[in-house]
Structure 1
Amino acid sequence: MINLKLSKIFEDFAVMLEYKEENIFKINAYRQAARVLKKTNDLDKYVMEDRLGELPGIGKNLREKILEYYRTGKIAEYENLKKEIPLIIFDLLKIPGIGVKTARLIYRSFNPNTLDEVESLAKAHKLKEVAGIGSKTEQQILVGIASIREWQEKIPVSLYSRNVNEILEIIKSIPGVEKVSVTGRLRLKEEIIPYYHFLIVFNKSPDEFVKIMENLGYTLLSQEEGFLFLAPEGFKLKIEFCAKNNWGNKLFSTTGPETFLSVFGVLDDNFAEEEMIFSTKGLPFIEPELRTADGLFEFLQEKELRDLLTLSDIKGDLHIHSRHSDGVCTIKELAITAQNNGYEYLAITDHSQSLTVAKGLDEARLLTQIEEIEKLNQELSGITILKGIEVDILKDGSLDLPDKLLAQLDIVVASVHTGFKLPGEEQTVRIIEAIKNEHVDIIGHPTGRLLGRREQYDVNVDEIIYQAAKYHTALEINSSPERLDLKDEYVARARKEGVLISINTDAHDIHRLTNDLQFGVMVARKALLTKNEVLNAKDLKSLKKFLRK
């Protein structure tokens, strides 16, 4: 977790330096370091082995700051700089589309201390009077502040998946806790949850538990249907108490959802373990995340739970970025990691030329990469590297690399990265044009959503699914926990139409390549997919047959 803390500090450094209008190269150095640290989960090892200099962009100055944090738990320059920057700047930057320049303009013009004050200024149409803001930005700020308030009550899977075990261990360590489990929407592994939810057997009084939590820095908010606490970090945590002999019933009922519970009716007996409830109904134990699946019991009439896709069914990853664009690893490093993961193949799909912010590849650089991959395929054994690209779908539906170049690749993922606000009909036609292109194999992150940060764009998903089926184009479940795109509801519709699904990490580093696929497989299982319905559950020979469609 220390790498994430340092990443946040360095990102804040960049913001504060930009606010002070300092050297752009220095600002970018901190931003680059923040990105690198965020992805360096084994930072402790680099520090202990004195290898920080091996990390991209970590020079002498940044290295010393990292070591200072390890020694003292803080960075003096950072603490001093924070005293010079108004706190409201960081709140303003949470508004989508608002950068440091606009935030600085607002503060210097009106000196607001809270977002409530900024909202009042926008509603009074005061902000648009400032040169460089205007009516459009003013409206964007109002929408953004409303969105921030909404998402303050929501914890996305990208966050809770990282720290739920840490919270669980804290609860387990409390004297008197005999048994503990996640429950509710957390146990169902929903995309977004309102709070961390735990069921516990506690051999002391609830009041004693509250005292212990308050000593740990938690604040009791309410006692309705459990004890709701506010953590020092700002998230909410709900605790429900249970007797040992009723553990199975309570875990079952608090997990939900109601539609699933209604099939079982009223439970007449007390069950010490949840599995006993399923046995009484002649059913196999159904994993919590499957209990939200639409059509689950109809599925079980024809198939068994073991028929569903599992992580071990995946043969490779078909959407990965290397150092050639905005990834942090070499192609060889990615290939070796994929092989260690047990994969038969992986596809290198760096960004294409129009995405300049991600160092997208033009024709010459892509041809150079093709040569590198061909050499690596001769050098490495036990893993096949597929030559690919994540090509941008332009606003008119054309692709930003020529067909003759795409024809030289093994696989083409086509994605939208700009023009998110196109009208629904235009956005839909745009993606369909890409689906029709004979070289496009997969549509990447088809609805463009970012959980907790950006809603999906206006697009007719049913029409996209219909056209994907017609042109034999696969649709992606992007396994990045910040995306999970397509969501399970759409994946289930695609399955019914016979559309193959490709479950990819969109990894930019080896940690994501190894860790993130589990989230995409979870979405697939919620949509009741079997391995026969997943493109990258095919062996290499079968995959190549599809790619030659």
Structure 2
Amino acid sequence: MISLQLSRIFSEMALMLEYKEENFFKINAYRQAARILRNIEDLERFISEDRLEELPGIGKNLREKILEYYRTGRIAEYEKLKGEIPLIIFDLLKIPGIGVKTAKQIFEVYRPDTLDEVESLAKAHKLKEIPGIGSKTEQQILVGIASAREWQEKIPVSLYSRNQTELLELIKSLPGVEKVSSTGSLRLKEEIIPYYHFLIVFNGSKEKFSELMENLGFKLLEQQDGMLFLAPEGFKVKIDFATFDSWGNKLFLTTGPESFVKAIGVLEKSFSDEEIIFKSRGLPYVEPELRTAEGVLEFLNEADTTDLITAADIKGDLHIHSQHSDGINSIKDLALAAQKLGYEYISINDHSKSLTVAKGLDEERLLAQIEEIEALNRELEGITVLKGIEVEILKDGSLDLPDKLLAQLDVVVASVHTGFKLPREEQTARIIEAIKNEHVDIIGHPTGRLLGRRDQYDVDVEEIIVQAAKYSTALEINSSPERLDLKDEYVNRARQEGVLIAINTDAHDTYRLANDLQFGVTVARKALLTKKDVLNAKDLNSLKKFLRRK
């Protein structure tokens, strides 16, 4: 998608300009534009309707570059900059923990050409000889290189969710393909998959199917029972084969996971339909996404999968950003979009003042926003806009807005956006301090991870859950497919401790508001959450009772 492509380009331009020690404001403009574009799904519509000026933080120079890319598929300044920066710098910057300054130091001292060379330098303890890089940073670089290599072979949900339908339709359109389904980790809706995985019934030989794929630019990598292809775009696609008679068995077995297959037991005969397998065991059909859930079969002894939370149960979204900070839309536009989704309420939770890169709100701007929301609620019918903030948790656990102001809000989400490298004890204590605050309702994206880009920070999640239960503070499933934070195993533990979960989108535009909830609901279902476990499955009156609990 053009918005994601431009977001990557502008992000790289910011890094290259920083490497060249260019003007800070120019660097920040590209960085902010990258953040904004990452959250826009329909950039082409803004372009075709000549409405780019409506995007906050996108000035004349950036608009021209967007149009240049839209018309030509390239940006001349980007290509010029890329020719001036050593290629190894881009590889170094993919390593968690390495910033521009450190990457530049490593290159200027040792002139490495590959990450293998950087790894050898770190193992020989050469990097710590560079001023500013100590033993701890050197070790972090080694861990980061291993992590970067691991992620290189994986596809996060933020990517595969955009491509899987198109890919499935492509395979379905091939002559001789009579039936097709996703399978494996793709069908299980895992947050990370190693490859796109499909099961097909094909009327022809495997050699013929391989020929059809190769005609589309796919390269055959492996052939055993199935086939593994490399797509022209660089990702991998695995194809397994079945007959109509064996379809149920093959779909069940290739979907997995192994632990679930083992729990169901050996299949003594062929089944043409997967659902018949469950009936033969006296079980209700278990949807693929639930098969990875810990204790799902035990759950089915006491309840039914129809009791689990669904997107239709959600009454509102309690973490949304408007154009007051780094969002795209006005509060009114967000409210009207939420009303179309059938929501009773939304909460506007723009960033607070410490997060300057996201135009965080200070006291004066937040007070003005409160007045705007109150006026809007007098105007609108059928939807309530709750006054909120995503307040920054500072390193000492204090919040960057005064309690007196937070008391005027309906929904306070407290989050960490800086200080990811604090020691485990300090990071944990920091978040617990926020949990204890009488005005904090929800801890946002509690572990700080970004799938494929940043691991969670070192924090005692178990203790966070215990303290959240003690102080009646909800924890968030951030539904952004870049985050999915909390992960399902932690959500399951929170459920067991009686902690309420808020399934929020953290949307920065109306498209994300409408489309990202599904990812958080999948996490919640994998954790076996029911309506009673979910804060924003409550109606407005019940929600308000919770918000007055402390």
Q: Give the TM-score category using the shorter length.
A: over 0.9
Instruction: Quote the offset at 1:412 in angstroms.
Output: 1.4
SS of alignment partner, residue 178 of structure 1 = strand
**Greater RCO structure (CA 8 Å; 6+ sep):** 2
> Following TM superposition, by how much is the alpha carbon of 1:136 offset from its aligned partner in structure 2, in angstroms?
4.5
Instruction: Show CA shifts across 1:72-124 (max 9, x none).
Output: 33344444443333222211111123233433333344332211122223333
Cα distance in 2, alignment partners of residues 20 and 522 from structure 1: 43
Distance 1:44 1:341 in 2: 23
Does 85-94 or 245-254 show the bigger shift? 85-94
- Residues 72 and 407 of structure 1: CA distance in aligned 2, closer, same or farther (over 3 Å): closer
* Cα pair distance change 1:21/1:470, threshold 3 Å: closer
Cα offset, 1:327, TM superposition = 2.1
Match of 1:406? Answer: 406
Deviates more, 1:58-67 or 1:244-253: 58-67
- 1:107 — aligned with what? 107
Q: Tell me, in whole angstroms, the C-alpha distance in 2 between the residues paired with 1:132 and 1:430.
A: 27
- Change over 3 Å in CA distance of 1:399–1:12 after alignment to 2: closer
Q: Indicate the SS of the match to 1:245.
A: coil
In structure 2, distance between residues paired with 1:466 and 1:95:
33
**1:57-96 alignment runs, 5 A limit:** 57-96=57-96
List per-residue Cα deviations over 1:42-79 (Å, max 9, x = no partner).
Answer: 22223333333333344444444433433333344444
Aligned CA distance change for structure 1 residues 440 and 29 (closer, same or farther; 3 Å) = closer
**Is 2:56–2:323's contact at 8 Å kept on the other side of the alignment?**
no
Partner of 2:244: 244
Q: Distance in 2 between matches of 1:360 and 1:76?
A: 33
- The 3-state SS of whatever aligns with 1:544 is helix
What displacement does 1:271 show?
Answer: 1.9
Deviation at 1:194, TM superposition (A): 1.5
Distance change (3 Å), C-alpha of 1:457 and 1:38: closer
Q: Which of 66-75 and 436-445 deviates more?
A: 66-75
Q: CA deviation at 1:367?
A: 1.5
2:421 maps to a residue whose letter is: K
Partner Cα separation in structure 1 for residue 240 and residue 311 of structure 2? 32
Query: Deviation of residue 133 (structure 1)?
Result: 4.5
1:267 aligned partner: 267
Secondary structure at 1:309 match in 2: coil
Identity of aligned residues (%): 77
Alignment of 1:314 with 2:314, yes or no, is yes
Over residues 514-535 of structure 1, what are the superposed CA-to-partner deviations in whole Å (9 max), with x where a residue is unaligned? 1111111111111111111111
SS of aligned partner of 2:455: coil
Quote the offset at 1:547 in angstroms: 0.8
User: Normalising by the residue count of structure 1, what TM-score does the alignment of the two structures yield?
Assistant: 0.93
Q: Residues 117-516 of structure 1: matches in 2 within 5 Å? A: 117-131=117-131, 133=133, 135-516=135-516
Contact preservation (8 Å) 2:55, 2:328: no
How far apart in 2 are the matches of 1:396 and 1:108? Answer: 36
Matching of residue 535 in structure 1 with residue 535 in structure 2 = yes
Structure 2: distance between partners of 1:304 and 1:347: 32
- Measured after TM superposition, the shift of residue 290 of structure 1 is 0.7
Distance (Å, rounded) in 2 between the aligned partners of 1:226 and 1:235: 17
Q: Which runs of 5+ in 1 are unaligned?
A: none
Could you tell me whether the CA contact under 8 Å between 2:271 and 2:277 is conserved in 1? yes
Instruction: Quote how far apart the aligned CAs of 1:539 are.
Output: 0.4
Other structure's SS at 2:279 match: helix
Q: Deviations over 1:341-360 (max 9, x none)?
A: 11111111122223333332
Q: Which moved more, 1:303-312 or 1:112-121?
A: 112-121
Looking at structure 2, the residues matched to 395 and 60 of structure 1 have their Cα atoms a distance apart, in angstroms, of 37
Return the alpha-carbon distance in structure 1 between the equivalents of residues 149 and 68 of structure 2: 36
Report which stretch shifted further, 183-192 or 86-95.
86-95
Task: Point out where structure 2 has 5 or more consecutive residues left out of the alignment.
Answer: none
CA 186–53 in structure 1, closer or farther in 2 if over 3 Å, else same: same
Q: Distance in 1 between matches of 2:234 and 2:493?
A: 37
- TM-superposed deviation, 1:135: 4.6
Q: Are residues 62 and 211 of structure 1, via their aligned partners in 2, closer, same or farther at CA, if it must alter by over 3 Å?
A: same
Deviation at 1:496, TM superposition (A): 1.9
Structure 1 residues 30 and 441: CA distance shift in structure 2, 3 A: closer
AA partner of residue 401 (structure 2):
L
Q: Please, what TM-score do these two structures have when normalized by structure 2?
A: 0.93
Return the offset for 1:138: 3.5
Q: Secondary structure at the match of 2:200?
A: strand
| 2:98 corresponds to | 98
Amino acid of the structure 1 residue aligned with 2:173: S
Alpha-carbon distance between aligned partners in 2 of 1:474 and 1:489, rounded to the nearest angstrom:
16
What secondary structure is seen at the aligned counterpart in 1 of 2:261? helix
How has the CA–CA distance of structure 1 residues 473 and 344 changed in structure 2, closer, same or farther, with 3 Å as cutoff? same
1:312-364: per-residue Cα shift (whole Å, max 9, x none)?
Answer: 10001111122222222222222122112111111111222233333322222
Counterpart Cα distance in 2 of 1:98 and 1:224? 40
Q: Counterparts of 2:157 and 2:230 in 1: how far apart (Å)?
A: 19
Root-mean-square deviation (CA), in Å?
A: 2.2
Amino acid at match of 2:323: R
